[in-house]
């Protein structure tokens, strides 16, 4: 990411689409950090939850997608309970995942799984992988 954020280098993404998918207002967040302080998965994340929302406020969704955070989030909603503004980060993380999925950039490529193994795998595992491990 650029070291300096200016009006010129702030990337625009479709905020209306994002708000529609997530149902959340990312600008309600005032960066108190309560969500990250209570997140049980924060130690395993490249970006803390409050950093994700700050980058989104700045239009930097591409930077968020480069990290593992939205894929590590366990949707436990601890952050939602702790947030003084009622922001539900689990929905925001899911919205980022959905936007990536809609671009069809699949990390799991069915064609690369041996056919014998593919037939044995439970379908729900494949569906789960598409949702969770799509980069």
Residues that bind ligand SF4 (CB under 6 A): 29-35, 39, 41, 49-50, 53, 73-79, 82-85, 87, 89-90, 93
For ligand SF4, give the closer residue by CB, 126 or 131.
131
- Alpha carbons 6 and 89: distance in angstroms, whole number: 26
Could you tell me if 130 and 106 are in contact, meaning their C-beta atoms sit under 8 angstroms apart? yes
For ligand SF4, give the closer residue by CB, 93 or 99.
93
In angstroms, give the least distance from the CB of 15 to ligand SF4. 17
Could you tell me if 87 and 64 are in contact, meaning their C-beta atoms sit under 8 angstroms apart? no
For ligand SF4, give the closer residue by CB, 57 or 129.
57
Chain centroid to Cα 135, Å, comes to 10
In angstroms, give the least distance from the CB of 85 to ligand SF4. 4
Shortest CA distance to 27 belongs to which of 18, 39, 38, 36? 18
Phi, psi for 130 (deg, rounded to 5): -60, -40
Could you tell me if 134 and 107 are in contact, meaning their C-beta atoms sit under 8 angstroms apart? yes
For ligand SF4, give the closer residue by CB, 76 or 110.
76
């Amino acid at each position: 990411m650029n070291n300096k954020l200016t009006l010129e280098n702030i990337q625009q993404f479709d905020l209306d689409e994002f708000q529609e998918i997530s149902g959340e207002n990312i600008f309600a967040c005032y960066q108190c950090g309560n969500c990250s302080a209570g997140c049980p998965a924060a130690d395993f994340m490249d970006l803390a939850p409050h950093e994700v929302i700050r980058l989104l406020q700045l239009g930097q969704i591409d930077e968020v997608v480069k990290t593992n955070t939205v894929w590590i989030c366990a949707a436990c909603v601890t952050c939602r309970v702790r947030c003084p503004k009622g922001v539900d980060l689990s929905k925001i993380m899911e919205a980022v995942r959905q936007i990536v999925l809609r671009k069809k950039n699949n990390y799991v490529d069915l064609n690369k799984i041996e056919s014998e193994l593919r037939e044995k795998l439970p379908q729900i595992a494949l569906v789960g992988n598409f949702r969770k491990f799509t980069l």
